């Protein structure tokens, strides 16, 4: 049975969410009393993860947008009564009965450059997340798992050639200056994310964490952050064709060498339900320096209408410094990788309109 302290945490957490006026997370909305009572005594077969593990991040961080993580792959089915409505709302109506389409990368040469004159798109980035079949998700990883994962991924990436050839840089032993420069330049994940920390995703940090990249930093792989792997392609300007083409090449090469966690209904499995399915986030960095506070609200409304997400200059949960915005596809499920990436065309189109209107 589930530890009574865990059940108490869940019940108190429910009360805390409901009592908060400032909390607007999907967790608060979908963790009803009925769901609490149905799920509070359940745990996953392989790791014994509970509802507490699922909701902890959102209970401790009332400003969460979503507020849940899957402590292990089985959590998506054991706690489906909570995950499914959250998935449905986040991914634009992906229903309990829906099946995510099989991986369809498509032909990158069908894309072009969304800003050939280099007028407003500062840079383009497309990433996907992958979990390795061999390891549990973050909260259930041991220190040994982290070391083994780092060795496996860095060893595998040694085999990359041509444009994808690069070097693995472990976080352990990296100077704070180098680390901060990589973060400031948008290449490396940040440290101390409180949403991940409260989800028990940062244990043994920096062990097993690191970044692989080619010399030009157009192909990068994050290791051991939110997901086991984040595969990233990015460059200055708006050539989605080049950025997506490189990502497809990288994913195909890595897939030949490693086994990923995948589910027939949910697609590729990730730690956060917002990343399931294609796991693709295709974004453009655009400059809207003259955007007022009212303009920002309007930008958000346009983004909502086109199923786009607005983030700040340093990514999720950050501000737009100097008018630098990150606009990307919001949904990652129920569409193909190709379609998800194509949405960043809409992102830049809406930006160009915004730029004209905000003059």
Indicate which single residue of 114, 132, 234, 320 sits in contact with ligand ADP (rule: CB under 6 A): 234
Per residue in 31-41, is it b (16+ CB within 10 Å) or e — as a string? beeebbeebbe
* One residue of 14, 79, 168, 195 binding ligand CIR per CB under 6 A: 195
Q: Which is nearer to ligand CIR, 189 or 195 (CB)?
A: 195
User: How does DSSP assign 276-304, residue by residue?
Assistant: -BT--EEEEEEE-TT--HHHHHHHHHHHH
Q: Catalytic residues, which ones?
A: 127, 226, 230, 272, 274, 281, 311, 316
Q: How far apart are CA 227 and CA 271, in angstroms?
A: 6
Closest distance of CB 39 from ligand ADP, Å: 27
Instruction: Report if residue 272 touches ligand CIR, rule: CB under 6 A.
Output: yes
Q: Out of ligand ADP, ligand CIR, none, which partner does residue 230 contact, by CB within 5 to 8 A per kind?
A: ligand ADP
For residue 199, the cross-strand partners are none
Q: Where are the beta strands (DSSP E) in the chain?
A: 121-130, 166-170, 210-214, 219-223, 229-236, 262-263, 267-268, 281-287, 308-311, 324-329
Q: Quick one: which of 30, 40, 100, 127 contacts ligand ADP (CB under 6 A)?
A: 127
Give 57 or 156: the residue with its C-beta nearer to ligand CIR. Answer: 57
239 binds ligand CIR (CB under 6 A): no
Please give the Cα distance from 26 to 32 (Å, whole number). 11
Region 300-319 residues binding ligand CIR, contact defined as CB under 6 A: 316
- Rank residues 281 and 355 by Cβ distance to ligand ADP and give the closer one: 281
* 240 contact choice in ligand ADP, ligand CIR, none (CB below 5 to 8 Å, kind-dependent): none
Task: Find the binder of ligand ADP among 41, 123, 214, 352 (CB under 6 A).
Answer: 123
Bridge partner list, 123: 236, 285
Does residue 180 belong to the site contacting ligand ADP (CB under 6 A)? no
The nearer residue to ligand ADP, 164 or 284, going by C-beta atoms, is 284
Q: Which is nearer to ligand ADP, 52 or 285 (CB)?
A: 285
Nearest to 214 by CA among 250, 252, 257, 256: 250
| Residue 69 CB burial class (10 angstroms; 0-12, 13-18, ≥19) | buried
Dump the DSSP string for 58-116.
Answer: HHH-TT-SS----SSTTHHHHTHHHHHHHHHHHTTS--TT--PPPP----GGG--BS-T
Could you tell me which stretch among 32-40, 294-302, 311-319, 350-358 binds ligand ADP (CB under 6 A)? 311-319
b (16+ CB within 10 A) / e for 197-207: ebbbbbeebbb
Residue nearest to ligand ADP (CB): 315
- In terms of Cα–Cα distance, which of 224, 203, 221, 204 is closest to 213? 221
Does 64 bind ligand CIR (CB under 6 A)? Our answer is: yes
> If binding is defined by CB under 6 A, does position 287 make contact with ligand ADP?
no
Q: Which residue of 230, 249, 332, 355 would you call a contact of ligand ADP, by CB under 6 A?
A: 230
**Least CB distance from residue 173 to ligand CIR, whole Å?**
29
Minimum CB distance to ligand CIR smaller for 64 or for 156: 64
Catalog residues that contact ligand CIR under the rule CB under 6 A.
57, 64-67, 195, 272, 274, 316
């Amino acid at each position: 049975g589930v530890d009574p302290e865990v059940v108490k945490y869940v019940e108190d957490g429910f009360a805390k969410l409901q009592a908060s006026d400032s909390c607007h997370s999907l967790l608060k909305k979908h963790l009803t009393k009925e769901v609490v009572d149905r799920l509070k005594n359940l745990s996953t077969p392989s790791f014994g993860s509970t509802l507490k593990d699922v909701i902890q991040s959102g209970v401790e961080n009332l400003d969460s947008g979503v507020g849940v993580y899957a402590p292990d792959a089985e959590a998506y089915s054991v706690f489906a009564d909570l995950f499914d409505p959250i998935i449905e709302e986040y991914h634009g109506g992906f229903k309990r009965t829906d099946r995510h389409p099989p991986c369809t990368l498509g032909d990158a040469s069908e894309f072009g450059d969304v800003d050939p004159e280099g007028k407003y798109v500062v840079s383009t980035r497309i990433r996907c997340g992958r979990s390795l079949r061999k390891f549990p998700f973050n909260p259930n990883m041991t220190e040994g798992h982290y070391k083994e994962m780092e060795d496996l991924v860095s060893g595998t990436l040694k085999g990359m050639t041509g444009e994808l050839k690069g070097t693995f840089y472990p976080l352990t032993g990296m100077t704070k200056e180098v680390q901060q420069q990589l973060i400031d330049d948008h290449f490396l994940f940040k440290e101390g994310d409180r949403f991940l920390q409260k989800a028990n995703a940062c244990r043994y940090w920096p062990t097993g964490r690191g970044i692989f990249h080619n010399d030009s930093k157009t192909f990068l792989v994050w290791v051991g952050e939110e997901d086991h792997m984040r595969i990233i392609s990015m460059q200055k300007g708006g050539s989605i064709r080049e950025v997506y083409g490189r990502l497809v090449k990288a994913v195909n090469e890595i897939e030949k060498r490693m086994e990923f966690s995948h589910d027939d209904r949910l697609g590729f499995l990730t730690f956060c339900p917002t990343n399931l399915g294609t796991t693709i986030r295709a974004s453009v960095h655009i400059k809207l320096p003259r955007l007022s506070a009212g303009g920002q609200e309007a930008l958000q409304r346009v983004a909502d209408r086109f199923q786009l997400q607005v983030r700040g200059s340093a990514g999720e949960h950050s501000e737009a410094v100097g008018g630098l915005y990150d606009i990307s596809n919001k949904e990652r499920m129920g569409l193909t990788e190709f379609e998800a990436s194509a949405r960043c065309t809409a992102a830049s189109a809406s930006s160009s309109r915004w730029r004209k209107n905000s003059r």
